[in-house]
Amino acid sequence: MIRYFISLNMDLGAILSNNKRDFNRELVHFSEKNTTIIPLDCNEYIIQMFIEQAANFDTLKEYLSHYHSYIRYKTEYKDNAIIEIIESFNLDTFVIEYNSTFADRPQDCLFLAIIDDEIMKESIFTPEIQNLCDPGPFYKIIGVDESWSSNEEIYYDYATAKKAFDKLQ
């Protein structure tokens, strides 16, 4: 994933979707061209766990069914934030991406594309599952500008995104 080897100053996970539905005012989100960007208020481990578990299923519907049938979760932890967003807004075409840097050097990168409910296995990139795919085609499908994360005034980390969102309200 060559894109991840450019210098980014961020520690942020986000859901990127072409879904233009009305999102509630409490959910931190931004509209950028044809894309809705939803910064995630959860840590890298939660995002990685979501992506690696999704790799075991062909569709998002199968994964969510499994999640609700077999996995108990506690709402006081943020480990179900991703699923709550997906289900609350009926997302079926989106990208989940996480990037972090230390001293302007990329540290961790996570990526997953789900297109029309299909988990795009070739898109999965985690420390455990490293497909060397180009995320560009997945961005193109959902209308994401590949440089979305370069706006550090908004997308540096979740706290920065929340402050920027609150200013817009």
Closest CA to 120 of 53, 50, 54, 34: 54
Spatial distance between the Cα atoms of 162 and 41, rounded to a whole number of angstroms = 9
**Residue bearing the bigger pLDDT, 11 or 165:** 165
Residue 16 to residues 43, 69, 75, 140, Cα–Cα distance (Å): 17, 27, 23, 12
State mean pLDDT over 43-55: 90
pLDDT per position as a tens digit, 51-91: 999 999 999 999 998 887 766 554 444 557 899 899 988 99
Spatial distance between the Cα atoms of 161 and 123, rounded to a whole number of angstroms = 26
pLDDT confidence of residue 134: 74
**Residue bearing the bigger pLDDT, 23 or 31:** 31
pLDDT confidence of residue 135: 81
Spatial distance between the Cα atoms of 14 and 110, rounded to a whole number of angstroms = 10
- Structural tokens at position 59: 């569709």
State mean pLDDT over 112-120: 95
pLDDT above 90 covers a percentage of the chain that reads 37
Closest CA to 33 of 18, 23, 21: 18
State mean pLDDT over 111-120: 95
Mean pLDDT (the chain, rounded): 82
- Structural tokens at position 135: 């995320």
**Residue bearing the bigger pLDDT, 54 or 100:** 54
Instruction: Name, in order, each residue with C-beta under 8 angstroms of 44's C-beta and a sequence gap of 6 or more.
Output: 11, 13, 98, 100, 108, 110
- pLDDT greater than 50 at residue 146: yes
**pLDDT-derived band at 100, boundaries 50, 70, 90:** confident
pLDDT confidence of residue 23: 78
